[in-house]
Amino acid sequence: MSYVLILGASSDVAIACAHEFAANGYNLYLSGRDIESLTIAASDLHIRHRIEAKAVKFDALQSSGHQSFYNSLDPKPEITLCVFGLLGDQQTSAKTWAEAEKIIHSNYTGAVSILNAVANDYEARKSGVIVGISSVAGERGRQSNYIYGSAKAGFTAYLSGLRNRLTASNVHVVTVKPGFIRTRMTEGLKLPKPLTAEPVQLGKAILKATKKKKDVIYVLPVWRLIMLIIRNIPEGIFKKLKM
């Protein structure tokens, strides 16, 4: 039975994805720093869905250990979901490099490091699916979150290039752009309900995208229209907007 590797498996979105894939018969690797909570989650998934679920230690910020982490997985996963990320604080990151660096590493550098290892394996095996959760914030820099947005813009471009490279090897790459998500990371923020997805919606959308081999998905279709409008605002006008 196939395994799914979930990178950053402690988040609300990751757990929702885990349940969707487990309900469809996939075994799971739940990876992250909090091995204790992941072990509990793995046990719950095993009992509920009667699949194998293993908790494995992984730190997105420790890129030097990413190759050895992936090498240790036996059997290797057929599907890899890169779920981890950090919204961070824009005002702090604009003034403090340590905060900016953490956001960049959490959303771009760490993801590229581990997915390079996954991609090389999948390319050699000529099969596999990679799913990366990016963000609509990466489509145009806005003063409210441009450090986070720039990292996600880089990640979106990386996934696009990876998809271009791996298509010939029968490896599929999915880019997910959720828009607002109601999670612990966004707790306290005033999010417009019609534009905000629930974690379970992401889980279902991601499972569907892997099965149908979608390239780029917006979890809520309205975001495709919103971002089309934002991308096409002339720069002379856009730079004066408070966004």
Please tell me whether residue 29 adopts helix, strand or coil conformation. strand
Which residue range(s) make up the domain with 95?
3-238
Q: How far apart are CA 185 and CA 10, in angstroms?
A: 12
Nearest to 6 by CA among 199, 238, 230: 199
- Once rounded to an integer, what is the mean pLDDT over residues 45-73? 97
CB 195 within 8 A of CB 223: yes
pTM of the predicted model over 0.85: yes
Assigned domain for 199 exists = yes
Q: Report pLDDT for 148.
A: 96
Q: Report pLDDT for 236.
A: 94
Q: How far apart are CA 152 and CA 149, in angstroms?
A: 5
Q: Report pLDDT for 192.
A: 74
Q: How far apart are CA 84 and CA 133, in angstroms?
A: 8
What percentage of residues in the chain have a pLDDT greater than 70?
98
> What's the mean per-residue pLDDT of the chain?
94
- Once rounded to an integer, what is the mean pLDDT over residues 194-200? 89
Hey, how many other C-beta atoms are within 10 angstroms of the C-beta on 96? 12
Q: Give tens-digit pLDDT for 1-36.
A: 799 999 999 999 999 999 999 999 999 999 999 999
Assigned domain for 71 exists = yes
What's the total number of domains in the chain? 1
Assigned domain for 132 exists = yes
Q: Report pLDDT for 242.
A: 86
Q: Give the helix/strand (H/E) hosting 54.
A: strand 53-57
Q: Report pLDDT for 188.
A: 65
Assigned domain for 20 exists = yes
Q: How far apart are CA 176 and CA 138, in angstroms?
A: 12
Hey, how many other C-beta atoms are within 10 angstroms of the C-beta on 196? 17
Residue whose entry in the numeric block shows the structure tokens 């979930």: 6
Q: How far apart are CA 33 and CA 98, in angstroms?
A: 20
Percent helix, strand and coil across the chain, each to the nearest 5: 55, 15, 30
| Alpha carbon 97 to chain centroid, angstroms | 24
Assigned domain for 74 exists = yes
Q: Report pLDDT for 185.
A: 64
Residue 186 pLDDT greater than 90, yes or no: no
CATH value at residue 48: 3.40.50.720
Residue 135 pLDDT greater than 80, yes or no: yes
Report the residue count for the chain: 243
Q: Give tens-digit pLDDT for 96-112.
A: 999 999 999 999 999 99
Assigned domain for 14 exists = yes
Residue whose entry in the numeric block shows the structure tokens 């002339």: 234
What's 168's DSSP letter? G
Hey, how many other C-beta atoms are within 10 angstroms of the C-beta on 64? 8
Assigned domain for 58 exists = yes
What percentage of residues in the chain have a pLDDT greater than 90?
89
Residue 138 pLDDT greater than 80, yes or no: yes
Assigned domain for 243 exists = no
Hey, how many other C-beta atoms are within 10 angstroms of the C-beta on 202? 25
Burial track 14-49 (b if 16+ CB lie within 10 A, e otherwise): bbbbbbbbbeeebbbbbbbeebeebeebbeebbeeb
